Structure 1
């Protein structure tokens, strides 16, 4: 998805697919699903299974024709898994009938029932709908920190994970080749911001990679490699509870990872990072994983939000709107299972997957004139893979450490993968890594151009509510 001015590109209004030969030209209800994350894909698959062929046309908008299994991104960054192992193709099966529009939704006009889409060819198209399911997911949460988006790496996309792996190995190569002691030391220091699951697993997995790789660099003193994990919160992964959180912290500390809590970044430069406690760390690697926020698409609606997430009812229907549903990371879905007033579901994969199936049922019920039902799901627990045999997990409230926790963590991830092909690839990668160890191949596929946080998520591509309305009105007048 590009970021060019919508006024300077061709505008096309898309309609229902052409009827097949021999069939009557009957206009069916149009269901548009935005986003191919856990929520969007589960919704589409359930719609395909439960809707009759003539009941509705289903369309999916996504920049990439694959579903990304985000929880395993740190293992791609560390080389334990190959990128294609966790990218499940949406076009693999021949039996699916959903039409895929390759592009990104950049605005929605709820009154006109039109979604504005920028295709991967940078063309602006208008997609009318009768029902819309908004599951655009989230983007990396950043703050107004000088130099952050220009100098930090993210860990939210497949390209970022693959790029970080190349970058980290490149730092070892460059440090080995350098004759400047200060430069060598700087290249061997790595900073990860964010003490949640993504940041903790990223630091843990990449530290194991560099620890194993440095043995192949006889000119590098292993003591020079230093990993820093920092977070503004007072505890590491507080959702795990005090005991497991301390266990995880002790595991990482014993590995040599320096953990600083109650600390964040004051300034990020190309060759150094300044912490809020005044420390200055010379480094060429800053990885930012300090949380996520709802997709900017939500702000184009001009609707009520809660902490940036679209306010919806327990049935995931947008109040006051006919046929508009939202779920996943971008929606403030009430957490009925907690029984607490104002509680909303956390932005986790297990909630998104279950919400996707439930919202599909509610869309079908609405389409058929039935009643929607509230979403309720009790959290199954948390799993954290720290690499190797290290893990901490809390499935169904049971605290696990070491190999049992690792078995639970990998077992949960393996079971959650959507296709048998993906399961075989991941299991094979895990087995090969356990038997043969890490490899330290640097592909160099992006070596010509540095890419940082600002280059991957295209957060500047979205329209304002006023721009959406003006665009749709202009298109209608042209017609």
Structure 2
């Protein structure tokens, strides 16, 4: 009889999902070959909603047009040729039965409903989703900034607003079109605003009746600082840098409402605007609520330092979906030795990538009857871009700002983006961008590719015909 292969199911195609599968592919090369030949071994299945992994730190540059959108995503089928890639979404996980209920593209289009996928080992890494608060009007008018589709849509939207402002004679419409409100002072919000403001300021030179001073860029942050990851001093510098570019940075301020396209802030001000970008945090993926695995008070999976789900065999997790103890962190002030729970790893890409590699190593060790290792990594620091040739960094205790920080930001992320192919393409684009002018073309019609044909088919003639 042919021995059945051990089935590893990786749920999620982000940092943790892709890097875990990539490591498993390398460590289990012979076992994967045996499974393909029908002689037992191991089969790795990656379940992801998209056929690519998005390298999110490059989303702001993609939105600003510095990088092609194709080059901030990594095709899963290309980097994981020895894994089985299934495009779909896990609806629930019954770990007691070792099954995941999955809806794929095929079942969705056929209308047959979800199917059950059995597994022996589970890596649950669906990541996180935007945390949208119950702000009136936010669901109707807010724009997220977490996917490549949102980044490119926002670029098209900003350029479209310049077109609207340039062509209207209504001062109210013009002012609203030239007002851009970003909520959230973390990496996503600050870098997106800085890159898009840079792009829009450059684009103004091609509009005969719009000047950079006509635009109003507003950054709203509920706490008293922005970019907490780079330290307090660099956060203050970032505020000064943005305000020097006429960006209205409002600290300790919340968005109370954005109904009727009017942003009402907690400081009493109101700003009619046609652009409101929401980057105020994330929350664990809703899938975690539909599992029988233990979760903490914030909805994340409770994990041990070996990246195994606490109190559960054959289940692993890391990244945004997991609460992993940070063994390298200093104890919190006032906490005695051994008192209270240890601090947890921050949900960032630096931890996610390193956790994914150790997770794969520990899973392999478990399959081979060896003891898993514990995750312990000292946080090396953070870098952030504030637009072209501007940035802040706090790395290994050293602070950098301006051009050196911006250069370090590019070097660091270029070294981290997967595949030599992507590295070469991005480096080539940066080189060409330094030699030629920015592209300021809005391709918003790409978001509705059938609109023109539908109009033509409905009227029986081309929309531009007689």
Q: TM-score, normalised by structure 1?
A: 0.86
Match of 1:332 in 2: 323
Relative contact order higher in (CA < 8 Å, ≥ 6 apart): 1
Cα distance per residue 1:384-418 (max 9 Å; x no partner): 01111101111222111112111211110000011
1:88 partnered with 2:74: yes
Match of 1:67 in 2: 53
Q: Distance in 2 between matches of 1:297 and 1:311?
A: 15
Superposition deviation, residue 146 in structure 1: 1.1
Cα distance per residue 1:273-292 (max 9 Å; x no partner): 11112211010000000111
Does the 8 Å CA contact 2:205/2:211 hold for their aligned counterparts? Answer: no
Match of 1:398 in 2: 398
Partner-residue secondary structure (3-state), 2:78: coil
Q: Which stretch has the larger CA shift, 75-84 or 439-448? A: 439-448
Match of 2:412 in 1: 412
Unaligned runs of 5+ in 2: 35-40, 332-340, 450-466
Superposition deviation, residue 26 in structure 1: 1.7
Match of 1:440 in 2: 440
Partner-residue secondary structure (3-state), 1:105: strand
Q: Distance in 1 between matches of 2:260 and 2:196?
A: 20
Partner-residue secondary structure (3-state), 1:445: helix
Does the 8 Å CA contact 2:229/2:381 hold for their aligned counterparts? Answer: no
Superposition deviation, residue 262 in structure 1: 0.5
1:114 partnered with 2:91: no
1:269 partnered with 2:259: yes
Partner-residue secondary structure (3-state), 2:145: coil
Partner-residue secondary structure (3-state), 1:345: coil
Q: Distance in 2 between matches of 1:385 and 1:379?
A: 19
State which of 8, 22, 26 in structure 2 corresponds to 1:45. 22
Superposition deviation, residue 92 in structure 1: 2.1
Cα distance per residue 1:275-322 (max 9 Å; x no partner): 112211010000000111111111112432242211111111112221
Does the 8 Å CA contact 1:197/1:237 hold for their aligned counterparts? Answer: yes
Q: Distance in 2 between matches of 1:126 and 1:445?
A: 38
Q: Distance in 2 between matches of 1:161 and 1:183?
A: 24
State which of 148, 159, 165 in structure 2 corresponds to 1:169. 159
Does the 8 Å CA contact 2:389/2:407 hold for their aligned counterparts? Answer: no
Q: Distance in 1 between matches of 2:349 and 2:377?
A: 12
1:298 partnered with 2:288: yes
Match of 1:26 in 2: 3
1:192 partnered with 2:178: no
Superposition deviation, residue 435 in structure 1: 2.3
Unaligned runs of 5+ in 1: 1-23, 450-479
Superposition deviation, residue 447 in structure 1: 5.5
Pairwise mapping of residues 120-135 of structure 1 onto structure 2 (< 5 A)? 120-121=105-106, 122=108, 123-135=113-125
Match of 2:303 in 1: 312
Does the 8 Å CA contact 1:232/1:261 hold for their aligned counterparts? Answer: yes
Q: Distance in 1 between matches of 2:350 and 2:211?
A: 42
Q: Distance in 2 between matches of 1:441 and 1:270?
A: 28
Work out the number of aligned pairs and report it. 425
Pairwise mapping of residues 326-405 of structure 1 onto structure 2 (< 5 A)? 326-340=317-331, 341-405=341-405
Partner-residue secondary structure (3-state), 2:46: strand
Match of 1:218 in 2: 208
Does the 8 Å CA contact 1:141/1:293 hold for their aligned counterparts? Answer: yes
Partner-residue secondary structure (3-state), 1:92: helix
Cα distance per residue 1:116-149 (max 9 Å; x no partner): 1121241412111110001111101111111112
Match of 1:464 in 2: none
Pairwise mapping of residues 251-270 of structure 1 onto structure 2 (< 5 A)? 251-270=241-260
Superposition deviation, residue 344 in structure 1: 0.8
Q: Which stretch has the larger CA shift, 189-198 or 363-372? A: 363-372
Superposition deviation, residue 271 in structure 1: 2.2
Cα distance per residue 1:348-394 (max 9 Å; x no partner): 11111111110011111111122112111111210001111101111
Match of 1:143 in 2: 133
Superposed CA RMSD: 1.5
Q: TM-score, normalised by structure 2?
A: 0.88
Does the 8 Å CA contact 1:163/1:446 hold for their aligned counterparts? Answer: no
1:204 partnered with 2:189: no
Match of 1:234 in 2: 224
Does the 8 Å CA contact 2:384/2:409 hold for their aligned counterparts? Answer: yes
Q: Distance in 2 between matches of 1:243 and 1:319?
A: 38
Partner-residue secondary structure (3-state), 2:233: helix
Structure 1 stretches of 4+ moved >3 Å: 445-449
Q: Which stretch has the larger CA shift, 424-433 or 402-411? A: 424-433
Partner-residue secondary structure (3-state), 1:278: coil
Q: Distance in 2 between matches of 1:387 and 1:208?
A: 6
Cα distance per residue 1:95-128 (max 9 Å; x no partner): 7210011111121011111111121241412111
Q: Distance in 2 between matches of 1:294 and 1:342?
A: 20
